């Protein structure tokens, strides 16, 4: 499966952005999905994940209550809604897919993911 993230840009602190991840070459419903980010000079970190069917989600503490991950398997799309953004959210955001049999397993470790898309830059100004 090929993944392409989009929707990044420049936003002021307190603002919102919606990232999209489009999947092609495969059926998205076979995969648990995740969003990760890598800030300037930092390592890649987990942001959010969603189960295959979309029934369960998990977030990094730093974004909990501000970000929402969702998916539309019929459209082969995954989204990350980001609200009340902070300068520390500035990073390149990437989506990833993990092939799973389980409909309930959440995957939070980057090394467990099978496929990665190109990232999209998000910059939050203070």
pLDDT single digits (tens) 7-62: 999 999 999 999 999 999 989 999 999 999 999 899 999 999 999 988 999 999 99
Percent of the chain at pLDDT > 90 equals 91
pLDDT tier at 78, thresholds 50, 70, 90 = very high
Average pLDDT over residues 79-94: 98
User: Which has the closest alpha carbon to 2: 27, 38, 37?
Assistant: 27
Max CA pair span of the chain: 43
86-96: average pLDDT? 98
Of the pLDDT bands very low, low, confident and very high (cuts 50, 70, 90), residue 70 is: very high
The β-bridge relationship of strands 44-50 and 57-59 is antiparallel
For 103-112, write each residue's pLDDT tens digit.
Answer: 999 999 999 9
Contact 89/14 with Cβ under 8 angstroms? no
Return the pLDDT at 7: 97
Helix, strand, or coil (residue 81): strand
Residue 123's pLDDT is: 98
Q: What is the mean pLDDT of residues 81-107?
A: 96
């Amino acid at each position: 499966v090929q993944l392409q993230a989009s929707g990044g840009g420049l936003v002021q602190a307190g603002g919102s952005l919606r990232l999209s991840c489009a999947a092609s070459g495969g059926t998205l419903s076979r995969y648990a999905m995740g969003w990760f980010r890598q800030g300037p000079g930092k390592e890649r970190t987990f942001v959010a994940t969603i189960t295959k069917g979309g029934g369960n989600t998990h977030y990094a503490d730093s974004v909990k209550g501000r970000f929402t991950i969702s998916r539309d398997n019929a459209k082969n799309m995954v989204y990350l809604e980001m609200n009340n953004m902070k300068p520390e959210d500035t990073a390149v955001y990437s989506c990833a897919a993990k092939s799973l049999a389980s409909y309930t397993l959440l995957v939070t470790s980057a090394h467990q993911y099978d496929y990665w898309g190109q990232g999209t830059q998000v910059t939050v100004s203070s």
